[in-house]
Amino acid sequence: MNFEDFRRRADAVREVPLDAVLICRGAVRDPRDKSKWRTEQGPVTVTGAKFSCWRSGRGGGGAIDLVMHLAGVNVGQAVAWLEQHMAATGETLRSSPSSKHSSVGRAAGKLCLPAANERLLDRVILYLMGRHLQVGLLAPLIASGRLYADDRGNAVFLLVAGKANRPVGAELRGTSHRIWRGMASGTCKDAGYFWVGARGSRKIVLCESAIDSISCFQLHPDCICISTSGVRSNPRWLCGLIARRYELHCGFDDDEAGDAAADAMLARYPTVQRLRPPAHDWNEALAVDSQKT
């Protein structure tokens, strides 16, 4: 990769809102001062695109600087982290390779779900089978309309709400050689979620993506597995599940971001338990398990 390529990538993520970065890394906003956050590096104050860290007395500007500070990584690693995680949470990455063909936007406005394309459904199924997911688990999701193919051949995983499974958004996953993921325009991630699992189960595992949720369910068929559509320590619907006394497990990725978000969730909700995937994420764990058999 030459300098111009890297500059374009950096420009595409530089203006991601700092609040989105902080939430994705499991930071908790101070309820008494909305500009202050409790982070993995101690208290941080955010003013627009600028931030300052009380503990170190240092600060900076923009999403890249913030990730470098919070994660202790270099600029290249920070750009790569933003490309991966901000696409998963639905933040728009301007003219980046990850979002070139997307219709995703920030979670606001009227919901605009991609139209289903039956002709491209086989492509989606083959892609997911290549991710070691069993057709027997995909079939009920397809039959219910919670998984389908759009006109670009993306896999569409519906976020739903209530007993009627009313659509409130969708996770989108590219099925070509290019890694791409995003959210349908107008998605409201706090209004519902993608889920798969055994009806009547009292055990719920929270995962970072729809594919991870299906992977986790394949490994733990006695559970209900829910996608938080990104690393989110406090989705608004979580309180309702806790009030209904489900046995909740935070199954976020076994990495720094997943651990930080899990720690923040467990600090806020002590009844939630940490359940690390036995690999980096649940789909990777499923791949390892599939190789054994």
Same domain, 35 and 155: no
Please report, in tens digits, the pLDDT of each residue of the chain (293 residues total): 567 778 888 888 877 888 888 877 778 888 888 889 888 888 999 988 899 987 777 788 888 999 998 888 889 888 888 876 664 444 444 433 333 333 333 334 688 999 999 999 999 999 999 999 999 999 999 999 999 999 999 999 999 998 788 999 999 999 987 778 889 989 999 899 999 998 889 999 999 999 999 999 999 999 999 999 999 999 989 988 988 899 999 999 999 999 999 999 999 899 999 999 999 999 999 999 988 86
* Cα–Cα distance for residue pair 54/52, rounded to 1 Å: 6
* Cα–Cα distance for residue pair 249/271, rounded to 1 Å: 9
Total structural domains within the chain: 2
Per the listing, tokens 């990725």 go with: 253
Q: Which domain holds residue 177?
A: 118-292
Per the listing, tokens 């899990």 go with: 262
Same domain, 145 and 39: no
Same domain, 18 and 123: no
* Cα–Cα distance for residue pair 118/137, rounded to 1 Å: 18
> Do 13 and 93 contact (CB within 8 A), yes or no?
yes
Same domain, 137 and 256: yes
Closest CA to 78 of 90, 95, 60: 60
Same domain, 50 and 179: no
Q: What is the CA radius of gyration of the chain?
A: 19
Q: Is residue 220 part of a domain?
A: yes
Predicted pLDDT of residue 146: 95
Element housing 140 (H / E): helix 135-144
Q: Is residue 110 part of a domain?
A: no
* Cα–Cα distance for residue pair 189/159, rounded to 1 Å: 7
Same domain, 26 and 128: no
Query: Residue 256 maps to which CATH number?
Result: 3.40.1360.10
